[in-house]
Amino acid sequence: MASVEDRRRITIRLTILQYLITVVFSVLAVSFWVLQVVQHAKFEEMAENNHQRTLALRAPRGLVLDRDGKVLVENRQSYSISIVREHTKDLNRTIRLLAAVLGIDEAGVRTIVDRHRREPSYRPITIVQDATLAQVSAVRARRLDFELPDVVVEQVPTRRYPETIGAHLFGYVGEVNDAQVAGGEGGLKSGDIVGQSGIEKVYNAMLMGQDGAKRVVVNSVGREIRTLEEEQPTEGKRLQLTVDIDVQKAIEDGFDSLGFNGAAVVLDPNNGDVLGFTSRPAYDPNAFAAGIDRVTWASLTSDEDRPLNDRAIQGRYSPGSTFKMAVATAALQEGVITPDFKVHCVGSATFYGRPFKCWKKGGHGTMDLRHAIEQSCNVYFYTIGNMTGIDKIHKWATLLGLGEKSGIDLPNEVQGLVPSPEWKQQYRKEKWYAGETVSVSIGQGSVSVTPVSMAVYAATLANGGTRVTPHLLKAVDDGSGWKPVPPPAPRSREPIDPVKLQAIRDGLWMVVNQAGTGHNALIKGPDGKPIHDVSGKTGTAQVISNQGKERAGKTDKDLRDNGWFVFFAPRDNPQIAGVVFLEHGVHGSNAALVAHHVLDTFFAKKDGRPLPPRPELKANLVP
């Protein structure tokens, strides 16, 4: 009886176990059916999307240093936010959501995406180049919630500039444009950051470096699972410039103190090293490095002062009295006059039936060349210019660097003009009149020059006739140490007779150190006595004729004269030469104020003296 009962219990238990096993396997079977049949498409897509991706690692651009090894341009780390269309199911949804998350205009995001539609879908489209931490956090939060699996945040090197100092010299970087990609410049591809202006553009191939790459496995939401291999980027070559940052700051401080627009170029007259280079107004290159916004770009391009225009190499202006040394050189070298040749000035002189006035109403009396340069006597230079002739003036002005491109290693330099009969016939279809030579002799008429060519002019007079080529690159470091870059060959060599040249130098020294208008450039030592024999010439050039001013009447346009000062020092063994140009600066003596601070800074370093403090300059604004 007991055995029958035991068998019955065992049978019941086995039956229950059998049913349980059947249920379990049924559940498993249904689950497998759901996974393999019902959700087949979903898991197949996830499996397919669990694949490799190659990520670009942007190379930092090379550092830029001054001649003493001080860093001028460097890099900082920033974040970029990009869309990877390869993982996008609904691009329109991504654009809408990303614009909302970033707090930017949706239309702007669409414009960026549309511009890159033809590129491979695996290549990220950068929407924000320099994202804020708030933007980065917002995107990363959405990625964790799987809302933006097709958006990536990357840490990238971004250029850092010293604000507006040397803006036109350094230039700026930006995303490569379609024309540059189509032109095949150095294997550029869409999305690359390249130099667009200044040395950043000229030496872009050196500065760019070599991008690296990281090959990773990512899952269906774009998250990296593991790294397969990684090739580190190679930083661009380091460049050492000829620029002296202390001289550069001195120029900038001088312009800041006076408040004028204009340009300044300072050279080593012996080899063409550019020690300082400024164009005003300037802009902040950092705005471009981070991806310039449309509002900022519009403000720069619509500004009447044209801050993007590099006045030092692209501005053409009448040189005024600074041209007189070119006339003197022509007259001396061609044997028309000697340094002792005298002219009597009564305040005006008549040539070809027309009176030509001197700036000094009562006249200067009888003057030789040295004193004519010192006093900037117009009548003296009318006379010797008329005696010399336009052809010889054109010849020697060109040899001194005027009316020619300087060859500086910056983009888009323009050429000035020293007129000649051939030029007038070719471009105006008119003959040259002798009276025009008289006007040219004091830097008026059709003469127009760039500030950089005026710096070369000063350097050529300083070194005795060698027209040096201004240049900015001093040395390059490709990772194996600094290698000097030889200076470019001079554009021409035409030795000037030392005795004749000394007469011009003496006159320029007298402009600064005696009764001339360049005394603002004078440097004094601790004992109050002049030092370093600064030599130079002021020039004041009209931007409109007196008759034109009368016709213009009351106007919002600035019609004040431009001011020039060309200089070199010391007189008999020059180590520095250059030009300061003040747009609507009223007088050349105001430009000499800036030159004084530059020269004082330069020689303070040479002498071991403390650098002069930032100046507080006061311009003479009385016409």
Cβ contact 200:288 at 8 Å: no
Write the DSSP assignment of 141-196 as a string of letters: HHHHTTS-TTEEEEEEEEEE--TTTTHHHH--EEEPPHHHHHTTGGG--TT-EEE-
What's 382's DSSP letter? Answer: H
The residues near 558 (Cβ < 8 Å, ≥ 6 apart) are: 584
Instruction: Measure the CA–CA gap between 564 and 376, rounded to whole angstroms.
Output: 13
Write the DSSP assignment of 439-455 as a string of letters: HHTTT-TT-BB-HHHHH
DSSP reduced 3-state for 385: helix
CA angle 403, 406, 412 (to 5 degrees): 95
Packing angle of the helix pair 324-333, 498-513 (nearest 10 deg) = 150
DSSP reduced 3-state for 582: strand
- Beta bridge pairs of residue 125: 83
Q: What is the 3-state secondary structure (H, E, C) of 200-226?
A: HHHCHHHHHCECEEEEEEECCCCCEEE
Which of 60, 459, 71 is CA-nearest to residue 272? 459
Instruction: Measure the CA–CA gap between 246 and 165, rounded to whole angstroms.
Output: 11
DSSP reduced 3-state for 566: strand
Instruction: Measure the CA–CA gap between 461 and 401, rounded to whole angstroms.
Output: 10
Instruction: Measure the CA–CA gap between 604 and 525, rounded to whole angstroms.
Output: 10
Main-chain phi, psi angles of 397, to 5 degrees = -60, -40
- Catalytic residue from among 80, 321, 448, 453: 321
Beta-strand relationship, 238-241 and 224-231:
unpaired
Dihedral over alpha carbons 506, 329, 587, 278 (to 10 degrees): -100
Beta-strand relationship, 576-583 and 51-57:
unpaired
The verdict on whether 480 is a catalytic residue reads no
Cβ contact 332:503 at 8 Å: yes
Instruction: Measure the CA–CA gap between 168 and 310, rounded to whole angstroms.
Output: 6
DSSP reduced 3-state for 428: helix
DSSP E strands, 371-511: 466-467, 473-477, 482-484, 492-493
Which residues are catalytically annotated?
A: 321
